[in-house]
Amino acid sequence: MFRKILIANRGEIAIRVAKTARRLGIAAVAVYSDADESAPHARFCDEAIRIGGPKPADSYLRIDRIIDACVKSGADAVHPGYGFLSENAEFAEALEKAGIVFIGPTAQSIRAMGSKSAAKDLMEKAGVPTTPGYQGADQSLDVFRRECARIGYPVLLKATAGGGGKGMKIAAREADLAEALASAQREGKNSFGDDRVLVEKYVPRARHLEVQIVGDGKGEVVHFFERDCSVQRRHQKIIEEAPAPRLPADVRRRLHEIGVNAGKAVQYRGAGTVECLYDGGANVYFMEMNTRLQVEHPVTEMITGVDLVEWQIRVAAGEGLPLKQDDIHERGHAFEARLYAEDPDNSFAPSIGRLTTLRLSDQARVDSGVEEGQEITPYYDPMIAKIITHGASRVEALGRMRAALRETRVAGVETNACFLHALCADGDFASGDVSTKYIDEHPDGLFARPAADARVYGAALLARHLAARAGGADPWGALTGFRLNKAAKAIYWIDVDGAPAIARLFRHGQALDIEIEPRATAAARKEGKGGGESMRFSVAMPSPPAHPGGVGLRLSINGEAFDAFVAPHGGKHRVFIGAESWDVSFPDPLSGAGGHHSVEGSLVAPMPGVVTLLKAKPGEAVAAGAVLMVMEAMKMEHAIKAPHDGTIKAFRFKAGDQVRQGDMLVEFEETA
């Protein structure tokens, strides 16, 4: 067994590997970039070594610096986690040359399966069914046009060295092909250093199923059943479960056979995942093999009771497979929800900033590599945590996931927490009717948010009132002082999710009487609309429990009790009630500043990133929806499109420029 393992990764997976190493009595060494100097994974391990600047190319992708860290620390093995160098054959070879064990497959297996094109060729020779497509060496547009016509539209273009949804584009028709191919090639080059692309028949309502395998490198391969990862955004998984729901027994059996046969075809060593496409009928197609641990491996661990990281370590140490296939059993059901710093209402764009509040359920397994007060930077994946639940049945596991998401409280950045809860509460998802088109097919249920009611206004106003009483920062809002024969009173301007109102508070002993008078927005006034109906209610005054990132409240409105949590969120406050949240501000009507900022006649950067391409020229007339420029952020391309028909007046940045969130990108004049 190894004495010391260096973990060539960061975040939650580095902590996850270190926990198993610690249980096995193995010392763990962390590496960190300048952006991660004080990150939890660097503190959790027994040692931590700096390897470079914040960009992955300057740190986590530097093979030479990681090997230097191994030599410096005396580590005799390296666990790569996932992403970064985990599927890099040159890295595996460099470690072997340095006399350091790579806790993963051989470089030969990585090469065989690392290229989607080569993997499909290999599987076809082994008799494994593959998705109809083209993976040839000729990468010209003319060849792709010919092959796509043969396959039939729609088609899916994929970077051959890709993973995690990067370098994947759909072309619904021939007119879309040129732009989709160019975008897939750029993402492949930027993310993996390889711009080669393959194309496959796109199955619109497919299911994404995968088989977890572990091999001993000598021909023996076992499977750990399957996972369903169908529900995705931007071709990236957001929720996974095991086993797959509503799967015919014969399809399940063939799926496991494909996984084991794929592993045996390359004498696979260690943990890997064979990903397949299921058309919902009788066909299961091999798509690719990930020669590493998967982000979603915890759901497999939960239903089998097996620590997959321990198996990786033991196989790499030469101990062989701890169990035979007949000794591996499944029990119950498990879900994993990926909590991301992203905005579902803005096409799931990543959100950058400081985690001013982070409270996660203690009733679920939570794998996380960030903490309250930490900065979410543009350099790495925006995952905050993985929330994992297990139950004796799918119904029980899903109920526990909903409960865990109801307890999730994150402020300072946008998250997909409300979206995940809506997904888990959706009737079709609860029945197991899932596919890769699930989000597109359920926009009303997944993106709808309830309007603010008396509970939201009451929690926000009470939190502000209590803060004023405690700190004395707002003498006009403290509702104290002598008033002859009158109740203490305060008036606020309040804005909830863009809806302005006037709030009047009257204190009577240990209660507040509140009146909310909605005011029309400027847009509503233009259309001759008012602000809505007024609200009147009473709130009992509680003693709130303290929390550094916010205030927890047990409120009673008109005799009905409920829990709320109010936390600072940027220059506003975020009110959490159950699984929902609302953003609240208290504008100063005398300051001239409102709660809504826009740049008239321009387009601004939705997030920090790098401009990679300008698609138009100043003075050019464009139609609504036309792509004006392309940005890269969080390793993904984001198209900046014309909001209306109009004319480009000027670009403020050129290709290669770094931009900040809110920077003006394009001066744009709408056609009258």
**Token pair recorded at residue 205:** 């309502």
Helix/strand/coil (H/E/C) assignment for every residue in 306-363: CCHHHHHHHHHCCCCCCCCHHHCCCCCEEEEEEEECEEHHHCCEECCEECCEEECCCC
Is residue 417 within 8 A of residue 339, CB to CB? The reply is: yes
Alpha helices by DSSP H, listed for 519-625, are 522-526
The vertex-118 CA angle with 113 and 119, nearest 5°, equals 45
Query: 86 — alpha (psi -120 to 50), left (phi > 0) or beta?
Result: alpha
Alpha helices by DSSP H, listed for 518-651, are 522-526
Query: In the annotation, is 292 catalytic?
Result: yes
β 4-7/77-79 pair status: parallel
How far is Cα 7 from Cα 21, in angstroms, rounded to an integer? 10
Max distance between CA atoms of the chain, in angstroms, equals 92
φ, ψ at 142 (rounded to 5°):
-60, -40
Is residue 290 within 8 A of residue 229, CB to CB? The reply is: no
Determine which one of 233, 269, 292, 409 is catalytic: 292
Q: Exposure of 505 by Cβ count < 10 A (0-12 exposed, 13-18 middle, 19+ buried)?
A: buried
Q: How many CA atoms lie within 13 A of 455 on its CB side?
A: 20
Is residue 628 within 8 A of residue 666, CB to CB? The reply is: yes
The vertex-239 CA angle with 426 and 323, nearest 5°, equals 130
How far is Cα 509 from Cα 539, in angstroms, rounded to an integer? 11
The residue written with tokens 């929330």 in the block is 387
Is residue 125 within 8 A of residue 143, CB to CB? The reply is: no
Q: Which amino acid is at 500?
A: P
Catalytic residue positions?
Answer: 292
